[in-house]
Structure 1
Amino acid sequence: MDRLTSMAVFVAAADLGSFAAAAASLGMSPQMVAKHVVFLESRLGARLLNRTTRRQSLTELGRAYHERCRVVLAEAEAADALAEAARAHPRGTLRINAPVTFGSHSLVPLLTRYLRDWPETEVDLSLTDRMVDLVEEGFEAVIRLGPLGDSALVARPLAPYRLVACAAPSYLAAHGAPDSPEALAGHQCLDFAHWPRGRDSLWRFTRAGDTVEAPAAGRLRINDFRALLRAALDGFGIVLGVETALRDDLASGRLVRVLPGWEAPSRPMHLLTLRDRRPTAKLRRFVDLVLSEFGPGGGAGR
């Protein structure tokens, strides 16, 4: 039997003066009321109520136990009320993980809007390109790039992570623009480094259903996109990056798109959460906002 339920039944029986009155109040049979009381007495190894066919009274232990049960039940109700309030109104700290580039360029503006809309919330955002474990590391939501394996998590698809290739006008003036993916072999390609692997990676481009894999050879490899972007703006080479991070520089002309007839690959992106039939309001509102901003109908490169 559930001990908390048995405590509530015992308190009702003590307050109302009989098993029959407690049963009527709680919507159960007098026999079930007796079972709950006997369950508690068996756990404690002592009698809580002195019972005869005509009356009942609390034992000395029963009086003390009755008072403590009232405190425990009141605390349980307060805890339930707190949980219900958390489900009804966003409050508390939300722990989120996202890839570094997407998080810094796209997610942070959304989070500041979220925090303005819900002033009783706080956000702890962890930016990393490694795969994290939601349960072990205590995250409530994770944005993940790439294909997903089998998982017990809830995966909500987001718009694909769109990439474009571009370079500074000064680089193109000095070295010319590649007219095909294969021509990248003669250029400095600024490569996002994932250690360990070979010195050169492959950039994939598609056009009219055809896919070409071009070696992205270059003398500079960095594991931070912001640093790669700085090198591209300095005119050192061609960078392949997400549209969101490059949008302002492309619009201003500080960078120019290369291979405009070719599409760089998109990477699938998902919002992952734990399975919960009654998620907190802070998480529900965050999920709604992410889906509205980055859902399949939109795009990470907006």
Structure 2
Amino acid sequence: MDLLDSMKVYVLAVEKGSLSAAATACGISATMAGNHLRTLEKRLGMQLLSRTTRRQHLTPFGEDYYQRCKEILRLVAETDEQAQKLQLAPAGKLRVTAPVSFGTEALMPALSDYLERYPQVSVDLVLSDRVLDLLEEGFEAAIRIGPVPDSALIARPLAPYRLMICASPAYLARRGTPARPDELSQHECLAFSPSAAAHWRLADQEHICRVPVSGRLQVNQGQALRVAALQGMGIVLQPAILLEGDVRAGRLVQLFPNHQLATRPMSILYLPDRYRSLKLRSFVDFVVERFKH
């Protein structure tokens, strides 16, 4: 017989005053209720109820066992209820990786809304400009900038990553403001390392040009390049989300606003077998909705 079922019969027998009343409450026969009680007593090697033709009495051990059974059944019921809730609402820890600039400037503010919407989910966000392996490093989702490699990962497209070219007013006052993209080759251009590009690509309504650029400073972090530009150290090409606040405040000046810079595709990626997880599904759908393609 199932141990929990026997405990339920025993608790009801104590609370209702008889095995027959417990049998009625459980929808079983009085004989079956008696079998449950005998199974418990045999398992424990102790008598739980002292029965006469008129009434039943709890033995001292039976009183203690009754309290323990009530606690066990309460914990089981609470656990079942919690499991049902987890099946209906996203819950648990979600491990995500994203590029540093996008994660800091765009994803982090959005996470406030996500966590408020799903209070049972916690997020472990790792910001890195390295391409991290989801499976080997234990991530459930990754936001990537650039073409999606042909792999086993599922990719959902997000809005393209826009770039801006900016410089500080002090730099432009000292070195002059380039009027045409090809004049960038005469300026200090701040480079993102280790993948510093030898050319910056711009386009207007008629032409596409690849401008050779060079400079004496290379930095491996976008926020540091922004600070270098604010200090007048050169012209910077970085994501719009990193620079547009400085442009609005007048700390930086956008160059070539009528030219279109090559945008970079951006996606959220995840392993296909993980998408059954409600927490992952909720996060992917939230990111796609917030950063629409």
- Structure 1 and Structure 2 fold alike (TM over 0.5): yes
- Counterpart pick for 2:228 among 222, 226, 231: 231
Q: Which structure 2 residues correspond to residues 288-299 of structure 1 after superposition, within 5 A?
A: 288-296=285-293
Query: 1:184 and 1:115, CA in 2 relative to 1: closer, same or farther beyond 3 A?
Result: same
Q: What's 2:32 paired with?
A: none
- Go from structure 1 to structure 2 and tell me whether the alpha carbon gap of 1:278 and 1:87 turns closer, same or farther (over 3 Å shift): farther
**2:203 equivalent in structure 1:** 206
Pairing partner for 1:221 from 218, 232, 237: 218
Where does structure 2 lack aligned partners over 5 or more consecutive residues? 3-42, 44-77
- 1:38-49 to structure 2, matched below 5 A, reads none
C-alpha displacement of 1:174: 1.3
TM-score (norm 1): 0.67
Alpha carbons of 1:80 and 1:267: their partners in 2 closer, same or farther (altered >3 Å)?
farther
Please name the residue that 1:148 is paired with: 148
Task: Give the CA RMSD over aligned residues.
Answer: 2.8
Instruction: Among all aligned residue pairs of Structure 1 and Structure 2, give the percentage whose two residues are the same amino acid.
Output: 46
Q: State yes or no: 1:250 paired with 2:244.
A: no
Q: Indicate the SS of the match to 1:276.
A: helix
d(CA) in 2 for partners of 1:186, 1:83? 65
Larger Rg: 2
Distance 1:80 1:158, change over 3 A: farther
| SS of structure 2 residue aligned to 1:217 | coil
TM-score, structure 2 length as denominator?
A: 0.69
Secondary structure in 2 matching 1:150: coil
Aligned to 2:95: 95
Contact 2:275 2:281 in 1 (8 A): no
Structure 1: how far apart are the matches of 2:142 and 2:111? 14
Shift of 1:124: 0.5
Match of 1:191 in 2: 191
One-letter code aligned to 2:253:
V
Q: Secondary structure, in 3 states, of the residue corresponding to 1:231?
A: helix
The answer to whether 1:105 aligns with 2:102 is no
Count residues in correspondence.
224
Deviations 1:181-219 (A, max 9, x none): 210011111111115x7xx62111111253211122111
Alpha-carbon offset, residue 118 of structure 1 = 2.1
Residues 165, 257 of structure 1: 8 Å contact kept: yes
Per-residue deviation, 1:279? 2.3
Pairing of 1:114-153 with structure 2 (within 5 A): 114-153=114-153
